[in-house]
């Protein structure tokens, strides 16, 4: 009798998961448990916190340059740039990000590495790709489902013993390396594909995405083994971009023929 409530919990959890199944822009199955509006609110709140924690760059030319690249990408995805907030943060971090709710952040430390408009477009396009594919929702949903699943397993297991504690600890480790981290790698690879196509549709040179990641590899130094990272290795990332390059170049040619010619400096 003790296990009946837990079995009901399992059935309820399965029903929620099945109802939340979705498909990403590349055709990959996703788990999306949270309303888009709620995730957008989280993105706006996180961006406001970042603005409080890190000063924005006051360099007019740098701000105009990053805004120019972002505008071309947003227009290529059918978005009004006026609906997005773009902030250049004065920080040595070699990074950028985009958040649900229409937010883009670029750190000044990225600009010497992504040293022209095409490479910057590759980074920002990648980050926008996370938003397009609803990766924030997917990450939250995966973590939530994993935590709930662990709780259900413990409820089914009955009285806790030292042996069970060890087994549950191992199960938690397995969930981390078997579900959460690989999911991160899939998301990163998917954002690479979406970002590559997006920069090409905006008229940027997609071939320079490969150059960018070669430069990023030099900037990042030694990386952890790929199976212990939420990101694919630079070698894997470059190989996958090269495999996609034919389609991206065709998209760029179409965009150029239609008059897309970014000139951000």
More confident residue, 181 or 250: 250
CA distance 133 to 231: 16
Q: Which token pair is 99?
A: 């958040």
When the pLDDT of each residue in the chain is averaged and rounded to a whole number, the result is 84
CA angle 78, 80, 83 (to 5 degrees): 135
Residue among 260, 3, 14, 4 at smallest CA distance from 145: 14
- Residue 100: name the closest of 54, 51, 143, 138 by CA: 138
Instruction: Quote the pLDDT of residue 222.
Output: 62
What share of the chain has pLDDT > 90, as a percent?
60
Catalytic member of 85, 127, 188, 235: 127
In this predicted structure, the answer to whether residue 10 has a pLDDT above a threshold of 50 is no
- pLDDT range class, residue 2, cuts 50, 70, 90: very low
- Of 152 and 244, the structure prediction assigns the larger pLDDT to 244
Rounded CA separation 66/110 (Å)? 11
Has residue 11 got a pLDDT over 50?
no
| Residue 265 within a domain | no
The model's pLDDT over 227-238, given as tens digits with 9 standing for 90+, comes to 556 778 888 899
121, part of any domain: yes
d(CA 158, CA 252): 59
Per-residue DSSP letters for 7-35? Answer: HHHHHHHHHHHHHTEEE-TTS-EEE--S-
The backbone torsions φ and ψ at residue 236, rounded to the nearest 5 degrees and listed phi first, read -65, -45
* 56 located within any domain: yes
Residues 6 or more apart whose CB falls under 8 angstroms from that of 42 comprise 100, 101, 136, 140
Compute how many other C-beta atoms are within 10 angstroms of the C-beta atom of residue 3.
Answer: 12
Residue 248 lies in a domain: yes
- What are φ and ψ of residue 161, in 5° steps? -125, 170
Asked whether residue 88 is domain-assigned, the answer is yes
User: What's the pTM?
Assistant: 0.81
Mean pLDDT of 65-82: 97
Give the tens place of pLDDT for each residue, 117-163.
999 999 999 999 999 999 998 988 888 877 765 555 555 555 656 65
- Cβ within 8 Å of residue 30, ≥6 positions away: 21, 22, 23, 24, 133, 134, 138, 141
Q: What is the pLDDT of residue 165?
A: 58
The pLDDT score that the predictor gives to residue 252 is: 98
In a domain, 21, yes or no: yes
Q: 176 lies in a domain?
A: yes
**What is the distance between the alpha carbons of residues 31 and 28, in angstroms, rounded to a whole number?**
10
Residue 91 covered by a domain: yes
pLDDT tens digits, one per residue of 180-220: 556 688 899 999 999 999 999 999 999 999 999 888 877 76
pLDDT at position 74 = 98
pLDDT of residue 257: 98
Cross-strand pairs, 89: 56, 107
127 belongs to the catalytic site: yes
The total number of structural domains that make up the chain: 1
Query: What is the domain range of residue 162?
Result: 4-257
């Amino acid at each position: 009798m003790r296990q009946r409530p837990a079995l009901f919990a399992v059935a309820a959890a399965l029903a929620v998961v099945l109802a939340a199944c979705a498909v990403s822009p590349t055709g990959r199955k996703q788990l999306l448990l949270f309303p888009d509006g709620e995730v957008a609110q989280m993105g706006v709140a996180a961006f406001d916190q970042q603005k409080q924690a890190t000063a924005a760059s006051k360099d007019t030319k740098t701000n105009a340059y990053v805004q120019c690249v972002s505008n071309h990408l947003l227009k290529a995805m059918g978005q009004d740039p006026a609906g997005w907030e773009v902030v250049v943060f004065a920080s040595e971090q070699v990074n950028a990000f985009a958040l649900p709710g229409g937010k883009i952040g670029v750190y000044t430390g990225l600009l010497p590495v992504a040293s022209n408009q095409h490479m910057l477009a590759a980074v920002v396009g990648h980050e926008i790709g996370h938003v397009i594919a609803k990766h924030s929702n997917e990450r939250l949903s995966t973590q939530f489902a994993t935590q709930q699943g662990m709780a259900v397993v413990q409820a089914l297991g009955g009285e806790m013993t030292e042996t069970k504690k060890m087994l549950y600890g191992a199960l938690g480790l397995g969930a981390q390396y078997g579900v959460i981290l690989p999911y991160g790698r899939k998301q990163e690879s998917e954002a690479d594909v979406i970002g590559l196509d997006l920069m090409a549709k905006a008229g940027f040179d997609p071939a320079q995405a490969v150059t960018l990641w070669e430069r990023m590899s030099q900037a990042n130094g030694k990386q952890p083994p790929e199976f212990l990272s939420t990101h694919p290795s630079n070698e894997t990332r470059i190989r996958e971009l090269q495999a996609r390059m034919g389609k991206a170049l065709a998209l760029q040619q179409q965009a150029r023929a239609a008059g897309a010619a970014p000139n951000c400096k």
